[in-house]
Amino acid sequence: MNLRLNPSMIYKLTTKDFLLFRPFLVVYILICALAAGVMIAPIEGAYYLGVILVITVSIGSGIHFALTSVIIEKKENQMSFIMGLPINATDYAVSKTVGGMVVYFLNWLPMLVITLSLIYFSHLPNGLIPISILCFLQILTGVVVVLCIGVGTGSEGFTIVMVVIFNILFNLFLSVVGQLPGISEFIQGNEAVFNATFFSVFGIEILALILVLSLTLFIKSRNACFL
């Protein structure tokens, strides 16, 4: 097992991915702000349209980042350029999964803050805040899973299948979590309620995220070489 990591190189590779994604990151945050703006528009049905748009932008940006940073980099042979640098396969995997999560987080966090702020300062009920946080966390976890599948398999096909599964599971997540009594009872309320149900779902999502990352890095650290 290769556990000797090169933190300096992991940081440089992550920064490189951030710099490559930065122009899109700004665009996605702006689109998300517009989409969240639709949510609070005083028009019938605008809220639902806005929610769909915010979810689409946050998932889409994550998939865009995961595919370009892992799959397209490999497909366009830029990974060969990276493999020639003083790193090992584990450094690369850490930079693409943990580093990738950090880069996406820089996209995700402003989107979350914008969405929550608009809910908080608008006519929308503050009861929407807990479920919004859970949905965003679910999207972050899903993007990390896609990154891990991309790094783990190196396969464009498997990664795209994972994207499809992620979308299906997200819809399932929305309907299941939205019907949980501890969540559904408070959605229309004026106060954001962070109860045991919220923290249970939150905890499960964080655990899933840690588990997926750990498993991927454990598997990749067993490879002495890239190829």
Q: Which residues bind another protein (CB under 8 A)?
A: 4, 6, 9, 12, 16, 19-20, 76-78, 80-81, 83-88, 91, 224-227
Rounded Cα distance, 80 and 149, in Å: 19
Among residues 74, 66, 56, 67, the alpha carbon closest in space to that of 143 is found at 66
Shorter beta-carbon distance to another protein: residue 207 or 222: 222
What is the smallest separation between the CB atom of 101 and another protein, expressed in angstroms?
A: 21
What is the smallest separation between the CB atom of 21 and another protein, expressed in angstroms?
A: 10
What is the smallest separation between the CB atom of 90 and another protein, expressed in angstroms?
A: 10
Shorter beta-carbon distance to another protein: residue 19 or 206: 19
Eight-class DSSP state of 138: H
Write the burial class of residue 4 (CB in 10 Å: 0-12 exposed, 13-18 middle, 19+ buried).
exposed
Q: Report how many helices (DSSP H) and strands (DSSP E) the chain contains, helices first.
A: 9, 0
Shorter beta-carbon distance to another protein: residue 20 or 46: 20
Shorter beta-carbon distance to another protein: residue 9 or 39: 9
What is the smallest separation between the CB atom of 66 and another protein, expressed in angstroms?
A: 17
Shorter beta-carbon distance to another protein: residue 91 or 205: 91
Shorter beta-carbon distance to another protein: residue 50 or 99: 99
What is the smallest separation between the CB atom of 174 and another protein, expressed in angstroms?
A: 35
Among residues 125, 118, 144, 127, the alpha carbon closest in space to that of 53 is found at 118
Structure tokens at 112: 């979350």
Among residues 87, 62, 36, 89, the alpha carbon closest in space to that of 145 is found at 62
CA-CA distances (angstroms) from residue 24 to 47, 123, 129, 141, 207?
A: 25, 31, 26, 20, 29
What is the smallest separation between the CB atom of 227 and another protein, expressed in angstroms?
A: 5
> Could you tell me if 130 and 193 are in contact, meaning their C-beta atoms sit under 8 angstroms apart?
yes
Eight-class DSSP state of 186: T
Rounded Cα distance, 108 and 115, in Å: 11
Shorter beta-carbon distance to another protein: residue 10 or 111: 10
What is the smallest separation between the CB atom of 91 and another protein, expressed in angstroms?
A: 8
